[in-house]
């Protein structure tokens, strides 16, 4: 999986996580994925391949969401860079 940096809000990360759990619509997912690709520093083709691998992406997003949850408790920032 390629390494990439994306700036997303806490809400956007939760939308990604819910998308992987099939709890949101394709339209909502498309908006967030477009934002990921637009703001990414990674090779676009590689990132698209990575995004198609739901297991790896789910693990990555879940880890980021857990990290954000802890950060959120302490300082309430809404935007992070990974």
Residue-by-residue pLDDT tens, the chain, 82 positions: 445 555 666 677 777 777 666 666 666 666 666 666 666 655 667 666 666 666 666 677 777 777 766 766 666 554 544 4
Task: Answer for the pair 47, 2: CB distance below 8 angstroms, yes or no.
Answer: yes
DSSP output for the chain: ------EEEHHHHHHHHHHHTT-S-HHHHHHHHHHHHHH--S-HHHHHHHHH-HHHHHHHHHHHHHHHHHHHHHH---EEE-
Contacts of residue 54, defined as CB under 8 A and 6 or more positions apart, other chains included, come to 20
- pTM of this structure: 0.33
**Domain coordinates in residue numbering, the chain:** 7-76
Q: Which is nearest to 14 in space by CA: 53, 55, 56, 72?
A: 72
């Amino acid at each position: 999986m390629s390494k990439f940096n994306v700036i997303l809000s806490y809400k956007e990360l939760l939308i990604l996580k819910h998308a992987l759990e099939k709890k949101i619509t394709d339209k909502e997912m498309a908006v967030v994925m477009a934002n990921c690709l637009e703001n990414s520093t990674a090779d676009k083709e590689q990132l698209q391949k990575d995004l198609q691998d739901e297991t790896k992406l789910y693990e990555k997003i879940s880890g980021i969401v857990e990290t954000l949850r802890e950060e959120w408790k302490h300082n309430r920032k809404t935007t992070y860079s990974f």
